[in-house]
Amino acid sequence: MADYLPPKVWTWDTESGGTFASINRPIAGATHDKELPIGKHPLQLYSLATPNGQKVTILLEELLALGHTGAEYDAWLIKIGDGDQFGSGFVAVNPNSKIPALMDHSGATPIRVFESGAILQYLAEKFGAFLPSEPAARAECLSWLFWQMGSAPYLGGGFGHFYAYAPSKMEYPINRFAMEAKRQLDVLDKRLAVSEYIAGDEYTIADIAIWPWYGGLVKGRLYGDSAEFLSVHEYKHVLRWADAIDARPAVQRGRRVNRVSGEEQLPERHDASDLD
């Protein structure tokens, strides 16, 4: 491939290609008017079953499994390939136009929450679960939660994009981001060699945030043949942890919500029985 010589000023080239090229834009804000539906439960989730979306539905199902009935929710489908994230109603909940986005209608004034890490922290604090209250344990949990938020863009937007979605295979970015993805897996492997769960002995929102990305990667669920390419069998502690989380009933339920491809699709969830 010929070297690219950047022009003095970048301009929007809609022909840049790649799997998600049609939804990428250099501007923010709504492209069309569209109100969001509101269902019967206090919590209204607008999402899709990508790794970022699964984090929230897994936590909600875990909260319900613990008996927190206030965590009942409607999960509405946002088809990002069709540009639903650019509708005016969605942009009012998340000005960044990305799933997941949550509205909490349980109080006098509805509360919006966007960014999956913020949603996990909000729900964990609201229900007093999956986030330790003791300062050291809480700091460890939030450190790993924010580690996930900062690291996964290198895995998804970096490695995953250039390995699976870019219009052609380019050695430089694939090398750079494979190196980083493996480094991140090794960070987790070393942690999980000495700790049952990510933040310690307890299962927390740190596990819930990290599992859909890095658990999914070592279980071969992300980016075609990437598990073989990245030699994920080397990360045996991550595999042990991923298997343990895979086996949780609430995780199995949560990862199905808003799923529109593969097996056991469930585009919307409005009642616990939708998953039974």
Ligand X SMILES: N[C@@H](CCC(=O)N[C@@H](CS)C(=O)NCC(=O)O)C(=O)O
In whole angstroms, the minimum distance from the beta carbon of 202 to ligand X comes to 23
Strands 73-77 and 43-47: parallel
Taking CB under 6 A as the binding criterion, the range among 35-43, 91-99, 177-185, 226-234 that sits at the site for ligand X is 91-99
Show contacts with ligand X in window 16-55 (CB under 6 A): 23, 50, 52
Q: How far is it, in rounded angstroms, from Cα 133 to Cα 136?
A: 9
Residue number, 91 or 250, with CB nearest to ligand X: 91
93-100: list long-range contacts, CB under 8 Å, 24+ apart: 93/36, 93/46, 94/46, 95/28, 95/29, 96/28, 97/28, 98/52, 99/46, 99/47, 99/48, 99/50, 99/52, 99/53, 100/45, 100/46, 100/47, 100/48, 100/52, 100/53, 100/55, 100/56
**Residue 115 vs 196, nearer CB to ligand X:** 115
In whole angstroms, the minimum distance from the beta carbon of 194 to ligand X comes to 27
Q: Considering the rule CB under 6 A, would residue 57 count as an interface residue with ligand X?
A: no
Q: Which of 54, 85, 121, 151 binds ligand X (CB under 6 A)?
A: 85
Closest CA to 64 of 85, 48, 42: 42
- Residue closer to ligand X by CB (options 161, 269) is 161
Q: Find the helix or strand (DSSP H, E) in which 180 lies.
A: helix 171-194
Q: How far is the CB of 164 from ligand X (least distance, A)?
A: 14
CB of 168 to ligand X, least distance (A): 21
**205 CB-contact burial (10 Å; exposed 0-12 / middle 13-18 / buried 19+):** buried
In the bound complex, what is the minimum distance in angstroms from residue 221's beta carbon to ligand X? 14
Q: Site size for ligand X, by CB under 6 A?
A: 11
Show contacts with ligand X in window 92-121 (CB under 6 A). Answer: 97-100, 115-116
Instruction: Tell me which residues touch ligand X (CB under 6 A).
Output: 23, 50, 52, 80, 85, 97-100, 115-116
